[in-house]
Amino acid sequence: MKQSEYLKILNLAKSTLEDYDNWGETEIYKTSQKPSNKTIPEKQQKIFTKKPLTSKEQLESLRKQVDNCKECSLGTTRLKAVFGHGFANADLMFIGEGPGYDEDHKGEPFIGRAGQLLTKIIEAMGKTRDTVYIANIVKCHPMIDPSNPEKRENDRPPTPLEMQVCKKYLDMQINIIQPKIIVTLGASSTKGLLNREEPISRIRGTIQEYNGVKLVPTYHPSALLRNSSLKKFVWEDMKKVMHFLNTGEI
Ligand code: SF4
């Protein structure tokens, strides 16, 4: 072997051993043992001492993704994305179908007439909008005439495709919040999560499960505005939910 080749191999071996030495130092630090007598560079310390994000911080980060999302056509016609509202570690989560006119203008879920009725239901359960979590299966306003977001009475239910595309955000919200129980409001969100075909009048009040979380479907508050005789059924369903939250039994 020529001397130059021999030196090349020697240098390569030396640099590999140096890399291995640094790698070993990192592994030792990862296991929280004190590194011998070497000082850990400041940049490296920052990486290893970084705290995990809180649920609230994770939701805020996801909210930014939703604010910029245009993965379905609703993203091109909405005024404001409506991410969700409430406590990041709520036991109870309400899920509706999608934002309407008021929600699209303010970026807040359930703030129109149906939303005010939902707020009353939540308060009758001894809770507030800030102690539960409220979201929709799609985050942008589904409109009959998408060219006119300023028109009232322009709402429609989301299509199965819109729900399918957007549901990943809801799944991430559920995963972050980890509620004990979910209430789906109306046929769209119930069908979107459970993939069941029964009418809401038949499936409401039953105990279902979604991704390991208990789920109770009930009527959408807008149905109660059209037909107040449905209120008693919603209250029956909410009593089941409260019983579960108080006792862990259902
Ligand atoms: S509805 Fe959902 S998927 Fe469609 S643009 Fe809005 S955030 Fe994105």
Is-above-0.85 flag for pTM? no
Distance of alpha carbon 69 from alpha carbon 51, whole angstroms: 28
Distance of alpha carbon 161 from alpha carbon 166, whole angstroms: 9
What pLDDT shows up at residue 26?
36
Whether the per-residue pLDDT at 21 is higher than 70: the answer is no
Residue 241's identity, in one-letter code, is V
C-beta of residue 98 within 8 angstroms of C-beta of residue 144 = no
pLDDT tens by residue, 77-124: 999 999 999 999 999 999 999 999 999 999 999 999 999 999 999 999
State the Cα torsion 239-241-246-249 to the nearest 10°.
110
User: Domain 55-247 has what CATH class?
Assistant: alpha beta
Ligand 1 lining (C-beta closer than 6 Å): 66, 69-72, 74-75, 81, 138-140, 162, 165-166
> 7 vs 61, which has greater pLDDT?
61
Work out whether the CA dihedral 99, 104, 109, 114 comes out positive or negative. Answer: negative
Residue 159 neighbours by CB distance under 10 Å = 15
Count of alpha carbons within 13 angstroms of residue 143, beta-carbon side? 22
* 130 CA from centroid of ligand 1 (Å): 24
List the end-to-end C-alpha distance of the chain, in Å, as a whole number.
80
Nearest CA, atom 5, ligand 1: 75
Return the domain boundaries, the chain: 3-49, 55-247
* 82 CA from centroid of ligand 1 (Å): 10
Cα separations in angstroms, 80 against 103, 105, 119, 206, 218? 8, 6, 21, 34, 27
Distance of alpha carbon 100 from alpha carbon 181, whole angstroms: 25
What pLDDT shows up at residue 48?
60
C-beta of residue 86 within 8 angstroms of C-beta of residue 127 = no
Mean pLDDT in residue range 137-152: 96
Q: Which of 63, 67, 73, 140 to mutate to test the pocket of ligand 1 (most atoms within 8 A of CB)?
A: 140
Residue 206 neighbours by CB distance under 10 Å = 14
C-beta of residue 141 within 8 angstroms of C-beta of residue 151 = no
- Where helices occur in 31-78 by DSSP H, the ranges are 42-49, 55-67, 74-77
Q: Please, what is the angle between helix 160-177 and helix 55-67, to 10°?
A: 160
The distance of Cα 52 from the centroid of its chain, to the nearest Å, equals 18
Sorting pLDDT into bands at 50, 70 and 90, what band is 31?
Answer: very low
Q: Which of 63, 64, 66 to mutate to test the pocket of ligand 1 (most atoms within 8 A of CB)?
A: 66
The residue behind tokens 């007598």 is 37
Sorting pLDDT into bands at 50, 70 and 90, what band is 19?
Answer: very low
* 127 CA from centroid of ligand 1 (Å): 29
Whether the per-residue pLDDT at 205 is higher than 50: the answer is yes
pLDDT tens by residue, 112-131: 999 999 999 999 999 999 99
